Amino acid sequence: MSSTIDAARRRLVGLGAVTAALMALSIVGVFLVAPEDADQGVIQRIFYFHVPIALISLVAYGVACVAAIMYLRRGGEKWDEVGVVSVGLGMVFSILTVLTGSIWAKASWGTWWVWEDPRLVTYLVVILLYAAYFVLRSSAEDNRRARYSAVYAVFAFAAVPLSFYSVRVAESFVHPVVFTRSGADMPGSMLIWFFVSLVAITGLFATLLQLELLQRRADRAMRDLKNRLETLMAGT
């Protein structure tokens, strides 16, 4: 067990180093190299973090959904842990999305929040849905906790596509839509830094996920060791 934890720790250090380098590169690129938006000025640079964070929060919920399906099909504490950690990280990224979006909205539209925009509202609904995941987890009885969490993770993830569908239903023109069916509505000099930032944020998510899972695995190993020692002591 300790050798696998050591190997996972070495992988984590490597992943963390690559992520830190990518984060530094994206910060330099976004603030010093990428051209300034002619219409919105410096505040538009928040886009390079706001959109990747929003996308990765949805990816985190997707990972939780896949882990939930794996748990329901095969069982195993490992999948439950991947699920709960992914939802936790998804929540953190979602809250950051709303905060960065709010700052951008204040600078661009003069208000911190726009209720007329269904994408913002539906995103808030998604946050509330996943906040309820933790309430369910704390309320469920021990033998049902992982199973109910898995069912709920699948259920809540079904709400994510609805957030995109609702935009089309209500035909909002408030929220900027950069990526359309005909491609990205921005020049290549901006697009490249968007993708660097996206890869960096993806790395950040992967690093945090690995870190939390490693910590949980170490906790489990410690618990097993303690139980074995107690059994041994009781035998003597």
Partner 1 sequence: MSASPLRQMRALLVKDLRLELRTRETAVAMGLFALVGMMIFQFAIGTRTDDATPFAGGIIWATLALTAVLGVGRTWVPEREQRVLDALLTAPVPRLVLMLARSVALVLYLLTVQVVVVPMAIVFFVRDAAFSDLGLVAVVCVLADVAIAVVGALLASMSVFSRARELLLPVLLLPSIIPVVIAAAGATHAVLGPGNALDEYWRYCVFLGVYAVVFGLVAFATFDHVLDD
Q: What does the binding site for partner 1 look like in residue numbers (CB under 8 A)?
A: 72, 118, 121-122, 125, 128-129, 131-132, 135-136, 139-141, 143-144, 147-148, 150-152, 154-155, 158-159, 161-162, 165-166, 169-170
Minimum CB separation from partner 1 for residue 129, in Å?
Answer: 5
DSSP string covering 43-69: GGGGHHHHHHHHHHHHHHHHHHHHHHH
Residue 233, burial from CB neighbour count under 10 angstroms (0-12, 13-18, 19+)? exposed
Minimum CB separation from partner 1 for residue 84, in Å?
Answer: 16
Q: Please, which residue, 21 or 135, has the CB nearer to partner 1? A: 135
Q: Please, which residue, 103 or 127, has the CB nearer to partner 1? A: 127
List the end-to-end C-alpha distance of the chain, in Å, as a whole number: 25
Minimum CB separation from partner 1 for residue 143, in Å?
Answer: 8
DSSP string covering 62-117: HHHHHHHHHHHHH--HHHHHHHHHHHHHHHHHHHHHHHHHHHHHHHHHSSS--TT-
Q: Please, which residue, 151 or 211, has the CB nearer to partner 1? A: 151
Minimum CB separation from partner 1 for residue 151, in Å?
Answer: 4
Q: Please, which residue, 140 or 211, has the CB nearer to partner 1? A: 140
